[in-house]
């Protein structure tokens, strides 16, 4: 799991189908409510860093980061 230079509170996990699941660092599952509401973002990318950059372009991911103070 790579730490992003753009958003260190996110991590990307490679799935078996070649896609990445991007979620808050240390979070488990597909959604959560602590310390802020979040949900996993599934993206097609060629690296963990690229997956995080692509996820940050998704409006609901940006909104979740803003609520978290990032």
Tell me the per-residue pLDDT of 13-32, one tens digit each, with 9 for 90 and over.
999 999 999 998 888 889 98
Half-sphere exposure of 33 (CA within 13 A, CB side): 0
| 23 part of a folded domain | yes
| 4 part of a folded domain | no
What is the reported pLDDT for 37? 82
Residue ranges, the chain, pLDDT below 70? 1-8, 70
Give phi and psi for 10, each to the nearest 5. Answer: -110, 150
Cis peptide preceding 35, ω within 30 of 0: yes
What is the reported pLDDT for 4? 47
What is the reported pLDDT for 67? 76
pTM greater than the 0.85 cutoff: no
Say how far apart CA 8 and CA 55 lie, in whole Å: 13
Domain that holds residue 59: 10-68
What is the reported pLDDT for 15? 96
Q: What's the total number of domains in the chain?
A: 1
């Amino acid at each position: 799991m790579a730490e992003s230079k753009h958003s260190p509170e996110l991590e990307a996990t490679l799935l078996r189908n070649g896609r990445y699941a991007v979620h808050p660092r240390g979070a488990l599952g597909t959604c959560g409510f602590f310390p802020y509401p979040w949900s996993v973002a599934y993206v097609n990318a060629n690296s963990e860093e690229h997956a995080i950059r692509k996820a940050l372009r998704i409006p609901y991911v940006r909104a979740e980061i803003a609520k978290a103070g990032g």
